Structures are given as C-alpha cells and as structure tokens.
Amino acid sequence: MNKLVFILFAGTLLAQDARKIVEESQKLHRSRSQQYEGVLEVYDTKGGKNEKRWQYARIGSYGESKSVLRFLAPPLVKGVALLVQNHPDRASDQWMWTPELNRDRRIALQDRSTRFFGTDFSFEDLEERDVDQSDYTLLGEEALNGQACYKIESVAKKSRTTQYSRVVIWVRKDILLPVQFEMFVKSELVKRLIHKRVEKVQNVWSTLELEMNDLKKKTRTVMKTEKLKYDVALPEEQFTLQALRRGE
C-alpha cells in the first residue's frame, strides 16, 4: 500500500514538474508584442526549393494575442494576409485577405492538420497553446546536440482537438527553451521540429531558424526569422479587419 502511495505521489510530482517546466518556459519567452520578417523554404522530395517571405506582427499576452501575417513574396502570393485572434478558452478567429478578391474571408480550420500555405507546418503547428490545454509528463533528461534537456511528453486534454496523439518536447535545461518536438499520431512518429538556431534577442532567448520534417512525406520546411524585435509599440488598430483591407 505504501509503495502504491509513493508511486502515485511521485507520478503527480513528475507531472507537476513537467507542467512547471513548460509554464516557466512559456513565461520566460513571452513578450507584450513581437515583429519579424520570415522566410519559408519548402524542400520537396526531389530537393526542389520553394521560398516564401512574410511579415509578422503580434500583440497581446500568450493565448490571447492578435497577430497579422502578410506575405511579401513570391509575387503569386504577395499581399495575401492572415489575421488571427487567439482566445484562451476557444478556437481562434481567423480571416484571410486575398488581394485578387479584394475581400476578407472568415476561415475556420476544422482540420488544423491542413498545411500552412503548402509548407510542412500545419496551422496547428503554428498556434499558440496555453499550458492548461495539455497534460505533461517528465520522461527524463537527455542530451541533445551536447545540451542537457528535459524530455517532456505532452498529451492534449480531451477538451482540445488535435491531430497529434502526443508530442515529445526537448527543453534546454539552461535557458528553458524548447529545442525539439516530435509529433506522434497513435504510435507513429510523423513530424520532427528542430530549433536549429537559437540566439538571445533583446535579452530573450529566441529561435531564429526552425526546421520541420514531415517524416511520412519525406519533405522539410525551413523557417528563418529576420529583423526580430520584441515589445514594439504596435497600435491595436493594426490588428483589425480594416487593417487587413488597408494592407497594413
């Protein structure tokens, strides 16, 4: 009986630790606002490369933020923009502006596994997730590229829909920054996200290069962040449907 109580107690502690690590990690890398220019390089199975550039701006606290993403290149998608309003208790509201149609369209991704503009990132992969939306288990500690990491398993709570059965996260112990994610569908490893370049920007440890590998399709997408700035004074009016129309 005592043994069973100990096991249950230890299990709760480990789970709490894992949750705490994730919560601390999110807190440490939070900002009131953020702005950057990004480059997406999509590599197909034959090694062919397709590149997209965009501008991103976000305001608001984690899980309750508003963001605008606007493509700058290539010319085929230039001007296409996405407005996302995140809510802590429900799915985000999303609108897409297409310059050719001259209108915004409400979009709702019932299936968030949909690829983000043809890349290996799904819309779900780019979502902000509140720490309370998943349960966490500390699987142990493991070195990754010579860096000591916490290895944590994240399973979405039943109230949250997700394409992944579980996600294993490697969080660097020294800076509490996630550096690798492995996504599983049932027991199959389907995607691996590697934070390839990590640097301090304005005193915040930030990932400046991500690589998402689709292990089923054998394709990969590299996402590079440039001109990253935190706590920029961005007006609220820049995150509205009218701002989408104005092209801001």
Partner 1 sequence: MSRLALVLLGVLPLWGQNFSQRGFIETRGSFFPQTAPSDSGRAIGDVLLRYEMAYKLTPWLKFNGAIDGRTDTHRQTERQWRVDWQDREMLRPAVSLRRFSLTANKGKWTGEVGKQFIRWGKADILNPLDRFAPRDFLNVVETEYLAVMAGRATWESGGETIDLVWQPRFTPSRSPLLLQRWGGGGALRGDLAQLPPTVRQGRAVLPTGQQWGVRWNHVGRGYEAAGVYYEGHNHLPLLDVRISTFPDFRLELNNYFAKLRMAGGATAIPNRWFTLKAEGGYFSSSTPAADNYFQYVIQAERQSGEWTFVGGYAGEYVTVKRNLLDFAPDRGLTRSFLGRASLQLNPRDTVAFDAALRQNGDGVWVRGEFAHSFDDHWSVRVGGSLIRGRATDFLGQFGRNSHVTFAFRYSF
Binding site for partner 1 (CB under 8 A): 42, 44, 50-51, 73-76, 78-79, 90-91, 93, 99, 101-103, 105-111, 113-115, 117-119, 161, 237, 240-242, 245-248
Question: Which string of DSSP letters, residue by residue, matches 125-181?
Answer: GGS---GGGEEEEEEEEEEETTEEEEEEEEEE-TTS--S-SEEEEEEETTT--EEEE
| Residue nearer to partner 1 on the CB measure, 99 or 140 | 99
CB of 118 to partner 1, least distance (A): 3
Q: Which helix (H) or strand (E) holds 2?
A: helix 2-28
CB of 239 to partner 1, least distance (A): 11
| Residue nearer to partner 1 on the CB measure, 31 or 86 | 86
CB of 5 to partner 1, least distance (A): 40
CB of 76 to partner 1, least distance (A): 5
| Residue nearer to partner 1 on the CB measure, 15 or 126 | 126
Query: Residue 77 to residues 139, 190, 238, 246, 247: CA-CA distances in angstroms?
Result: 42, 28, 21, 17, 14
Rounded to whole angstroms, the Cα distance separating 127 from 112 reads 10
CB of 154 to partner 1, least distance (A): 21
Task: 98-102: list long-range contacts, CB under 8 Å, 24+ apart.
Answer: none
| Residue nearer to partner 1 on the CB measure, 17 or 248 | 248
| Residue nearer to partner 1 on the CB measure, 16 or 161 | 161
